[in-house]
Amino acid sequence: MSLQSTQSRDRSRPTSPVAVLGVPFALGADRRGVDMGPSAIRYGGLSAALDTAGVDYTDAGDLSPPTLQSQPASADASAKYLDAIAEMTDTLADRVATEIADGSVPLVLGGDHSIAMGTMRGAAQASELGVIWFDAHGDYNTPTTSPSGNVHGMPLAAAHGYGDFAEMPWATAPNVAEENTVIVGARSLDADERAVLRESDISVFTMADIDKQGIGSVTDEALDIATDGVDDIHVSLDLDWLDPDDAPGVGTPVPGGVTYREAHTAMERVADRDAAESVLRSLDVVEVNPILDQRNTTGERAAELAASAFGKRIL
């Protein structure tokens, strides 16, 4: 295939500028290290990767959320540090909503996955929003069902106002419906999560589905579901979605995940749909823990995958 023929099929670049925002937050995981994720992703070459993708972006720096050092031991073992997480969620939601109102697509760098509550809530302020959740886990626990009390295992349940979260309006994302929510690549679900998800209108593609159908087909179907009848989508990429051999620097690794190349394919399909229909309203990239990493491999993977979601290609 000639370079000319490849270029003739090249996708258009995103028309909206990207606002990069770091959230160095670890209280949802109750473990040090993931708060250094934004720095690791930037150090892993995010700017260069976005430049290569032709993305018009601004690095807006980091929020200053509460830290583990600043917090007393959590008194509520069922949902640790919930007050501080509520504060972070409010701050991030406001910032994300402002960036979107200004015409930008927020790229939010975590931090643990509890930050997605703020990203989704901010992104869903104006109109209906679909969600694609690339993750080894369902993140559909609540304070009542969680085995650990770590809120990074609860953000998707929070977005839908499920269970205990019905009484926590700060955690709920308006305009996010179950039927437009898709989990891709699940391979570690707690018993209560499994039961709830089976009864819900959420679509769940497990690793077995990816093995059978291929990552391209699954991602395309997920995009069809998430965009059905809504304006835009939020994409949440947890690096533990990848196999630990490809992304060792995460707090809750689960063997049997997608390969680095499969993850690129998924992000490229997101970029293809966005180039055609301008559907991507926000993206978060979470759970990079450089303390557990090997030579910042996971930080580099996160940077490259984020750039792929915004249109980076080999040619």
Which residue of the set 238, 246, 274, 284 is catalytic?
238
Which residue of the set 30, 35, 99, 135 is catalytic?
135
Contacts of 97 (CB under 8 A, 6+ apart): 122, 123, 125, 126
Q: In terms of C-beta distances under 8 Å and separation of at least 24 residues, what long-range contacts does 272-275 make, across chains too?
A: 272/11, 273/223, 273/227, 274/14, 274/309, 274/310, 274/311, 275/11, 275/12, 275/13, 275/14, 275/311
- Please indicate if the annotation marks 30 as binding a ligand: no
152 is catalytic: yes
- Please indicate if the annotation marks 113 as binding a ligand: yes
- Please indicate if the annotation marks 139 as binding a ligand: yes
Which residue of the set 99, 139, 268, 293 is catalytic?
139
Q: How far apart are CA 298 and CA 198, in angstroms?
A: 32
Which residue of the set 30, 99, 112, 137 is catalytic?
137
- Please indicate if the annotation marks 264 as binding a ligand: no
- Please indicate if the annotation marks 90 as binding a ligand: no
Which residue of the set 35, 152, 160, 243 is catalytic?
152
160 is catalytic: no
83 to 75, 79, 116, 171, 190: CA distances (angstroms): 11, 9, 16, 11, 25
238 is catalytic: yes
137 is catalytic: yes
Which residue of the set 30, 164, 262, 287 is catalytic?
287
Side-chain-side CA neighbours of residue 250 (13 Å): 30
DSSP class of 292: G
234 is catalytic: no
- Residues belonging to the binding site are 113, 135, 137, 139, 238, 240
* Binding-site residue set for Mn(2+): 113, 135, 137, 139, 238, 240
Give catalytic residue positions: 113, 135, 137, 139, 152, 238, 240, 287
